[in-house]
Structures are given as structure tokens and as C-alpha cells.
């Protein structure tokens, strides 16, 4: 009989050691696994965040090059900036948009058709020969408008046509080359009227060149009086009156002023800067139509120059406030309501550095002021709804952006005004809708404005961590399509898509928004 073999078991100590070591092994493995998992989760989250930031980066560049955040050529609901024919004469900020034949009083927004006629008439007039009233003889464009190269006119050694100065409309095929005399500014920017030095006189701003260059072919001037003293400290001086009138021939130069006046009402202030050459002097002469009037930017007496440097509040001998009382400051958070300037002045439309009246160039006009393409789709300000008057006000106004815009001294709210400007110029939008709540929230925007003669295309990418709420932002200024380039990318009309362009031999290119429509 055999005795069953006893199997030797673990001792208690062995068991405890084995369990302890086993737990240690399992815990170590679990910790490693958990750590690896957490690392991967974090890496995936950062990877997702980086992917969304990259998507935002690409979207920002897309907006920079195609301006789709401001105008979508495939979506009729995103063409607000194509509005034209806006009648803003009832607005107190729009006092300067008076009729100046042959230009209408209406305004257009940055993507408005410039040469439209009929009910959808743009601010730029249809092309008419002002000498005869005929719609022919001064055809615009003079060259094929199929997107080919700009044409240099007049040709070397040739005499320009007789109606060379009579073009009213914008000719997209004409190279604004400086050898062409009609592109030259004529005036004396240093000659100006100082009421406190020479009171009781008509303003003599920029010299009396109205007989040589004008917007109208039949300018009417009045007698003016030059009354010393000038310069101080003289207290009296002989005065004399002079009567000056254009000859029977209309002023020989009409084109320059008409291009400025037309563009200034066609596509907003930013568009004006964008379309005109860098050396433009922003002034033109008008006919005298307001006896004794000194309302600049509206009419000019004695054939003086109407500058874009409006100085509202300047009325006769009343010294004007400085123009850092801007509309954004006056009403920074309620754009749909029209309130008076707290200092009792007018709104400012188009000003420079606020140091004195003269015609200036782009740098002077933008050294303390910024002009932008206002975004009508900014949710934070407009809740997606904006009326055309407010939008026109934004596109035909400036924002104070010099050193004084960094504080809110003197109850002028300059910093608030600048914040409003940025909010309406560069609203940020989510890169996609319906993302999971645990994804980072990424916002993107691209705004276009001009400051100190620099065309700023500012893009921003802002993302918020869903875990910590931490907000980070990347902003950069890029070089890309200009406003005119963006108009050239688009077909005219509504929701008509992109304009095709090719340089193949015999290629027929689409009409675009830069041409007559």
C-alpha cells in the first residue's frame, strides 16, 4: 500500500513574498502602461491642437489671399461689401458727399461695382464725355479688359487723343504711368489759408490752380480778397481784391481729380488708398459754390482745392478741435446709434495727422489714422446683423491709431475706439462648426487696414484649451492679394464665382470686378 505523496505547498512567507513581488511587478507594469497611456493622450491632444492650429494657419493664409472672410463669390449671403448706390446724405457723418457733377452722391463699399449703371449704379460714374455728354468717344476701358497686361498710354512719340483728359470712369487696363501728364498732381501744397493770420479772406489753400485742373469743365470762381498781414508780427497790410476766372476753354486737366473723386465714392477710403498709386496727392479742385463758405471737403471757394482732409467744425473763424475726436471714440460700442461728438463737433471722415490743413499724401494721412475694410460678419460686435449705413460709416471713416490711442484721456475714449476698430476689422471666427466640446476652440481671422502707409494684412489664430481654458494667440502680417487683386479674382454679379484667368495663346478670360460692369 502506497502512501499518497504529499505535495509541498508554499509557506506563508513564500506566499507573502510572491504576492508582494507579484503586486510590485503588476503595479510597475500598470504604472508604466498608465504613464504611456497618459503620454499618448496628452500627445494626441497636443497633436489635435497642433493640427487645428495648422488648419487655422492655412485658413488665415487662404483669407489673406482670397479675402473669402469678407466676400464669398459663391455665397450670395456673404456679399454685403458689394453694396453700392448707398444714399447716406441724411447721415451727419456724410456731409461731404455732396453732388459734384458728374459724380453721384451715393457711396459704394469695397467690393462694389464701380462703373455700374442703372439701378445698381456704382459710385463711380458711367463713362461720359463731359464735353459733349456723349457716352462714346471716351470709352473705358481703352484696352481689352480680359485681364491682360496693363497698357502704357500714351504711347511713346504719340499725341494723346483730344479727349484724353475726359475719362470719367476707372480704366482697369490703363497703367497709371508717371510719364503721362494727366497723372500729375497740380497744386501748391504749401500755400494755405490761415484765418488767424489773414481773417476776412477766402481760404487760399493749395494755391489757385483751379483754372488749370478741376473736376468740372466749367468751374465758377468768385472774387477773393487778399488781406494781410502775413506773416506776423505785422498787424495790418494793404489788401486787394482779385477776380479770377477760367478761360472759355475748360481747365485742361480733369482726369486726376475725377479719378480721385470717383474712387473716393466708389469703394471706401481703404479702397481709395489701395487703388491709387503710392505717390498720390489726395486733393482736387472744385468749382466755387458756397459764397464765403469755408467748409472743406465739401466745396471750395475761389477755386481752391478740396482736400480729403476734412476739418469739420472749422467754420469761418472758429478754430476747430483736433481730429482725434473720431466717430469710434464718440460711439465705440453702439454703432447703430448716431450720437453727437461729445465736444459738439462733427464726425471725422478722412483726416490725416490733425496738424493743419493741406493736401497730403498717403503717409501723412495715415501716420496717426488707420483705414480698414470693415468686416460685416463680426459676431462679437454686430451679432451678424449690420445695417448698410453703419457699414458705410465704417468704410468711410478712420480710426485714431497714434500714440494717443493707447489711453482714454480727456474723456475721448481713444483706446476704446481703437479696440472697436480692431473688433470690426478683424473679427475671429471658428474654423469649423460642430466640433466636439473636448476639442480646442480655434478662431481665425484676417483683417486689412492701412497705417503709416503700410498695407497691413493682419491674421490672427486664437485657440482655447478645453481643459485649462488657457488662451493663446498667434498673429502675423502677411504679403498677399490686395483689395484690387481680390476684385480681379471675382466675377461681377452675385454668387457668380471666381473669375478665370489664363495666359494661354487665345485664352478668353472672364470679366472681373475690376472692370466695367
Residues numbered 205-244 forming contacts with other proteins, rule: CB under 8 A: 231-232
The three-class DSSP label of residue 379 is helix
Q: Which is nearer to other proteins, 61 or 105 (CB)?
A: 61
What is the Cα–Cα distance from 482 to 294, expressed in whole angstroms? 36
Q: Which residues within the stretch 335-394 sit at the binding site for other proteins (CB under 8 A)?
A: 352-364, 367
Closest by CA position to 169, among listed 130, 145, 142, 140: 140
Cα dist from 409 to 200, 319, 412, whole Å = 36, 21, 6
CB of 290 to other proteins, least distance (A): 23
CB of 119 to other proteins, least distance (A): 29
> How is residue 231 written as a grid cell?
506773416
Q: Which residues within the stretch 161-180 sit at the binding site for other proteins (CB under 8 A)?
A: 175-180
Residue corresponding to grid cell 466675377: 491
Query: Can you tell me which of 59, 66, 169, 397 binds other proteins, judged by CB under 8 A?
Result: 66
Query: Can you tell me which of 87, 222, 464, 482 binds other proteins, judged by CB under 8 A?
Result: 482
Q: Which is nearer to other proteins, 25 or 101 (CB)?
A: 25
Closest by CA position to 209, among listed 121, 332, 304, 103: 304
What is the Cα–Cα distance from 104 to 87, expressed in whole angstroms? 10
3-state DSSP helix/strand/coil % of the chain, to nearest 5: 25, 10, 60
CB of 178 to other proteins, least distance (A): 5
Dihedrals φ, ψ of 408, to 5°? -115, 40
Contact between 27 and other proteins by CB under 8 A: the answer reads no
Q: Which residues within the stretch 118-137 sit at the binding site for other proteins (CB under 8 A)?
A: none
CB of 361 to other proteins, least distance (A): 3
Q: Which stretch binds other proteins (CB under 8 A): 33-41, 79-87, 390-398, 406-414?
A: 33-41
Closest by CA position to 483, among listed 281, 256, 260, 276: 276
Q: Which is nearer to other proteins, 64 or 116 (CB)?
A: 64
Closest by CA position to 217, among listed 165, 139, 291: 165
On the CB side of 235, how many CA atoms lie within 13 Å of its CA? Answer: 0
Q: Which is nearer to other proteins, 88 or 458 (CB)?
A: 458
What is the Cα–Cα distance from 184 to 190, expressed in whole angstroms? 17
CB of 233 to other proteins, least distance (A): 11
Query: Can you tell me which of 85, 108, 189, 417 binds other proteins, judged by CB under 8 A?
Result: 189
CA angle (322, 328, 330) in 5-degree steps: 70
Contact between 154 and other proteins by CB under 8 A: the answer reads yes
Q: Which stretch binds other proteins (CB under 8 A): 97-105, 270-278, 405-413, 418-426?
A: 270-278
Q: Which is nearer to other proteins, 26 or 101 (CB)?
A: 26
Query: Can you tell me which of 197, 415, 416, 511 binds other proteins, judged by CB under 8 A?
Result: 197
CB of 131 to other proteins, least distance (A): 25
Cα dist from 216 to 97, 208, 288, whole Å = 16, 15, 11
Q: Which stretch binds other proteins (CB under 8 A): 38-46, 112-120, 124-132, 253-261?
A: 38-46
Q: Which residues within the stretch 489-508 sit at the binding site for other proteins (CB under 8 A)?
A: 489, 498, 500-504, 507
Contact 151, 173 (CB under 8 A): yes
Contact between 327 and other proteins by CB under 8 A: the answer reads no
Amino acid at each position: 500500500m502506497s502512501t499518497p505523496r504529499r505535495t509541498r505547498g508554499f509557506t506563508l512567507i513564500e506566499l507573502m513574498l510572491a504576492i508582494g513581488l507579484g503586486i510590485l511587478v503588476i503595479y510597475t507594469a500598470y504604472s508604466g502602461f498608465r504613464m504611456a497611456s497618459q503620454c499618448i493622450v496628452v500627445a494626441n491632444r497636443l497633436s489635435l491642437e497642433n493640427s487645428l492650429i495648422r488648419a487655422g494657419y492655412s485658413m488665415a493664409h487662404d483669407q489673406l489671399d482670397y479675402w473669402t472672410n469678407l466676400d464669398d463669390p459663391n455665397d450670395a449671403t456673404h456679399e454685403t461689401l458689394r453694396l453700392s448706390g448707398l444714399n447716406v446724405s441724411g447721415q451727419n457723418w456724410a456731409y461731404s458727399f455732396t453732388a459734384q457733377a458728374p459724380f453721384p452722391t451715393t457711396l459704394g463699399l469695397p467690393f462694389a461695382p464701380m462703373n455700374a449703371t442703372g439701378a445698381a449704379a456704382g459710385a463711380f460714374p458711367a463713362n461720359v464725355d463731359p464735353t459733349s455728354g456723349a457716352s462714346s468717344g471716351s470709352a473705358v476701358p481703352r484696352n481689352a479688359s480680359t485681364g491682360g497686361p496693363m497698357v502704357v498710354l500714351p504711347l511713346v512719340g504719340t499725341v494723346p487723343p483730344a479727349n484724353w483728359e475726359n475719362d470719367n470712369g476707372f480704366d482697369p487696363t490703363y497703367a497709371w504711368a508717371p510719364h503721362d501728364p494727366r497723372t500729375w498732381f497740380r497744386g501748391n501744397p504749401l500755400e494755405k489759408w490761415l484765418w488767424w493770420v489773414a481773417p476776412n479772406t477766402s481760404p487760399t489753400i493749395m494755391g489757385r490752380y483751379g483754372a488749370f485742373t478741376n473736376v468740372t469743365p466749367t468751374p465758377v470762381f468768385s472774387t477773393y480778397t487778399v488781406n494781410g498781414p502775413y506773416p506776423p508780427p505785422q498787424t495790418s497790410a494793404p489788401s486787394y481784391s482779385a477776380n479770377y476766372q477760367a478761360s472759355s476753354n475748360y481747365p485742361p486737366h480733369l482726369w486726376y481729380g475725377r479719378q480721385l473723386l470717383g474712387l473716393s465714392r466708389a469703394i471706401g477710403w481703404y479702397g481709395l488708398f489701395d487703388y491709387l498709386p503710392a505717390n498720390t496727392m489726395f486733393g482736387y479742385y472744385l468749382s466755387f459754390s458756397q459764397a464765403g463758405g469755408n467748409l472743406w471737403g465739401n466745396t471750395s471757394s475761389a477755386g481752391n482745392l478740396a482736400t480729403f482732409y476734412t476739418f469739420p467744425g472749422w467754420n469761418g473763424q472758429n478754430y476747430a478741435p483736433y481730429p482725434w475726436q473720431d466717430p469710434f471714440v464718440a460711439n465705440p460700442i453702439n454703432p447703430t446709434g448716431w450720437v453727437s461728438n461729445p465736444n459738439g463737433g462733427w464726425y471725422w471722415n478722412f483726416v490725416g495727422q490733425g496738424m493743419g490743413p493741406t493736401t497730403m499724401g498717403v503717409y501723412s494721412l495715415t501716420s496717426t489714422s488707420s483705414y480698414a475694410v470693415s468686416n460685416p460678419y463680426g459676431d462679437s460686435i454686430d451679432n451678424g446683423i449690420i445695417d448698410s449705413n453703419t457699414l458705410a460709416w465704417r468704410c468711410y471713416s478712420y480710426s485714431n491709431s497714434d500714440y494717443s490711442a493707447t489711453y482714454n484721456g480727456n474723456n475721448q475714449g481713444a483706446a476704446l475706439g481703437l479696440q472697436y476698430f480692431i473688433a470690426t476689422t478683424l473679427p475671429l471666427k471658428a474654423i469649423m462648426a460642430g466640433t466636439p466640446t473636448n476639442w480646442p476652440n480655434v478662431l481665425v481671422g484676417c483683417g486689412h487696414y492701412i497705417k503709416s502707409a503700410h498695407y497691413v494684412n493682419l491674421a490672427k489664430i486664437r485657440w482655447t484649451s478645453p481643459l485649462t481654458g488657457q488662451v493663446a494667440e498667434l498673429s502675423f502680417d502677411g504679403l498677399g492679394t490686395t483689395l484690387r487683386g481680390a476684385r480681379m479674382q471675382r466675377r461681377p454679379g452675385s454668387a457668380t464665382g471666381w473669375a478665370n484667368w489664363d495666359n494661354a495663346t487665345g485664352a478668353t478670360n472672364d470679366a472681373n470686378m475690376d472692370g466695367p460692369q
